[in-house]
Structure 1
């Protein structure tokens, strides 16, 4: 729930997370700390002051984890890698030539 709120807001303070979730400030601090230890969330700088101390903002670390999607069809295989923000990182499309049944090879996948 907290990670989804951080992802949706792009950057958000712990105080705003308390208001959005209804959880206590110590609970939010602990959850955010654990997300930071796991590398899923990073501090993003100071937010605007509302009369007191400027809040520290947190944001999703999109490169912390990746997901792989594979779509298999009769003559095609599509593989896509996306980061936590849902941005496409890499992709590949391979098709078989219907005339000779040989693979047309992988397209758009960076070769290393």
Structure 2
């Protein structure tokens, strides 16, 4: 509704809403189908599940970063960002509304 209101109130402007929350929930529920095998700990952090404190200088990260969803206590890995970027670019209306980035660029 907010995106529709913005578009109505700002003629000529184009907006898209990328539903990162639902993208992330889908990723966590279906991690293996996306190629991720580590969902419960960070790749580079310290403390419980390598996720209580963010990655510190000189700390050695995990050897296979593409298997991990979380980089540290707060951030997704590069692999997750690439996945979400692709879905924002060409995702369907359930993920990106009213236009995905590819459609928005062609307007």
TM-score in terms of structure 1 length: 0.25
Structure with more of its chain in helix, by fraction: 2
- Larger Rg, first or second structure (1 or 2): 1
Structure of greater relative contact order (alpha carbons < 8 Å, 6+ residues apart) = 2
